[in-house]
Amino acid sequence: MATRIRLRRVGRKKQPEYRIVVAESEKARSGRVVETLGHYNPRTEPVTITVDADKARAWLAKGATPSDTVRALLKQAGVFSAPTG
């Protein structure tokens, strides 16, 4: 099972909010998820990013690959750091 950490869109029309979720890579964007790690609201000032850091690190250790957007959000939240070297 190849898993990805990605965003799932929730919220009303023209008012997007996103959940940061772990899902199988073959599933649809709003399809079945394995676990919810947090949420992201780009409409607030400043943007709201809430992540369960322990769960996120555990999934990264298990081999889940974050999408590009989620990788940037995890860096902002202090969970994911770029490899040095």
pTM for the model stands at 0.85
69: phi then psi, degrees, rounded to nearest 5: -65, -45
Looking at 10-14, 28-32, 70-74, 80-84, which range is the least confident one? 80-84
- In this prediction, residues 68-85 reach a mean pLDDT of 79
**pLDDT (tens digit, 9 = 90+) per residue, 26-68?**
877 777 889 999 999 999 999 999 999 999 999 999 999 999 9
Domain ranges of the chain: 3-77
Beta strand ranges found along the chain (DSSP E): 3-12, 15-24, 35-41, 48-51, 65-66
Distances (CA, A) of 81 to 32, 44, 68, 75: 28, 24, 13, 6
Tell me which CATH homologous superfamily contains domain 3-77.
Ribosomal protein S16 (3.30.1320.10)
Peptide bond into 83 cis (omega under 30): no
